[in-house]
């Protein structure tokens, strides 16, 4: 079991790692907001709890999911869709926290996507062993808007492929406080997350949270 020292991340350089023409990882971009973001996740999950959804193919996702913002992404045996109501509670998804909205807009502006107005945020919770198989984010209709993805907690290896599922994929570590941005010509590239290793983050514990903000239409 690896325990991650706080020292490393608090001194991590705020560098930009290019992944493509219009895809980037902003290292440490969310670090100053991490505490507020974790508090916001706690408030979201009190209203709309994390749950393991079913895929249309009949599998149960190893990643636990909830949402905030006007629209929430869901999957069940019938397919994927965005809904205004949480099917678990019958109520609207919790509102998008201000801190998340501001962070996403500034990450987008920083990487060449001015005036990003997200209306959906998926909140993913990974435990060691959880993974996300290669996929494209294509349930939205607004492909001109980028996707902003915030990582908190234990590290993960992100897989960033091409436009075909079989294209070779780069392996990129995503750590606490990193923000990834995909848009433009890179908006529909296949990507996924390798099974997480056992680890404990000093603030978050043995989980990774990933917040992905989008514009649905």
Q: Does 182 help bind ligand MD6 (rule: CB under 6 A)? A: yes
Burial of residue 3, with CB atoms counted within 10 A of its CB: 0-12 exposed, 13-18 middle, 19 or more buried: exposed
CA distance 195 to 188: 22
Q: Angle at CA 125, nearest 5°, toward 68 and 217?
A: 35
Burial of residue 7, with CB atoms counted within 10 A of its CB: 0-12 exposed, 13-18 middle, 19 or more buried: exposed
Which positions from 70 through 129 interact with ligand MD6, judged by CB under 6 A?
Answer: 124
Total Cβ atoms within 10 A of residue 187: 20
Our CB check for ligand MD6 shows the closer of 111 and 149 to be: 149
Our CB check for ligand MD6 shows the closer of 54 and 92 to be: 54
Give the per-residue contact string, 109-148, with Fe ion (x = CB under 5 A; - = no).
----------------------------x-----------
Q: What are phi and psi of 126, to 5 degrees?
A: -105, 135
Give the per-residue contact string, 133-152, with ligand MD6 (x = CB under 6 A; - = no).
----x---------x-x---
Question: Which residues make up the interface to ligand MD6 (CB under 6 A)?
Answer: 124, 132, 137, 147, 149, 158, 180, 182, 191, 193, 210, 212
Residues of the shown chain interacting with Fe ion in the complex, contacts defined by CB under 5 A: 137
């Amino acid at each position: 079991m690896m325990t991650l020292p706080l020292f490393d991340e608090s001194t991590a350089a705020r560098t930009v790692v290019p992944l493509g023409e219009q895809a980037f990882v902003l290292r440490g971009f969310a670090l100053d907001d991490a505490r507020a973001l974790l508090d916001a996740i706690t408030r979201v999950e009190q209203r709309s709890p994390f749950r393991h959804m079913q895929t249309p193919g009949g599998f149960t996702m190893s990643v636990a999911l909830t949402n905030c913002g006007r629209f929430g992404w869901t999957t069940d045996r019938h397919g994927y869709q965005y809904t205004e109501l949480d099917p678990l509670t019958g109520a609207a998804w919790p509102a998008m926290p201000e801190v998340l909205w501001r962070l996403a807009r500034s990450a987008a502006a920083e990487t060449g996507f001015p005036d990003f107005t997200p209306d959906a945020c998926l909140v993913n919770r990974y435990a060691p062993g959880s993974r996300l198989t290669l996929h494209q984010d294509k349930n939205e209709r607004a492909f001109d808007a980028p996707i902003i993805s915030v990582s908190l907690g234990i590290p993960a290896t992100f897989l960033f492929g091409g436009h075909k599922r079989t294209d070779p994929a780069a392996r990129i570590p995503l750590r606490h406080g990193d923000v990834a941005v995909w848009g433009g010509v890179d908006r529909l590239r296949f990507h996924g997350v390798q099974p997480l290793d056992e680890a404990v983050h000093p603030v978050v514990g043995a989980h990774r949270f990933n917040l992905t903000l989008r514009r649905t239409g």
